[in-house]
Amino acid sequence: MDVIPAIDIRGGRCVRLVQGDYERETVFADDPAEAARRWRDAGAKRLHVVDLDGAREGRPVNWEAVTRIVAAVDVGVQLGGGLRDLGTVQRYLEGGVERVVLGTAAVKDPDLLAAALERFPGQVAVGVDARDGVVVTEGWLQASSVTAAELVRGLAALGVPRIIYTDTMRDGTLTEPNFPALQALLADVQASGDWMRVLYSGGVSSLRHVRQLAKTGVEGVIVGRALYTGDIDLRQALAAV
């Protein structure tokens, strides 16, 4: 299992939110590229970068900060936030991003998702962001009419190779992962063919959580606030799995 540090960007800085609430922000680095180098030096093989402003506004906002991250490190960068058209997806991939993550677009524009999967095979993942089992979009500000289970079935039918499941109520809380919800989602994935890879995010705050997640069979775990506060040491987490 991979342990992937999260770098969330708002206003050009590296921040963490609590439960996606833009009013509950903590700044951890003025330069996201500095944070990227820190996690690279600690052994990270991949980084999970989110343009928070882009997610809320529906367009790329922190392009320059993302570009600095890509230029600063020689590890894979997967990027989400504000990716709502093929031109933006192509621009980021050609700019050195390894993998893009579609969230709102995957829910509201399945034709775009299908086109992206065809044009950029292996480089597109889908964010399944859920609150109480219901998918949320637009930077987690709007609840959709789709459940996580329904979305997973639809994504499997489209041939989506990889999803990133986030329990938004646990994100940034330093509590614990929602293991029951994750197990239910993994059961839905298995019922849909068992070939889709799953990464988990939300509430991971200890090495014990990392070890527990490794036993579930997820491909990776994304860790944010716990790395910045020191509750999890990245080197130890990587060694644990």
Residues designated as active site? 8, 129
In terms of DSSP bridges, do strands 134-137 and 142-147 run parallel, antiparallel, or are they unpaired?
antiparallel
Sign of CA dihedral 141, 14, 238, 45: positive
d(CA 4, CA 74): 14
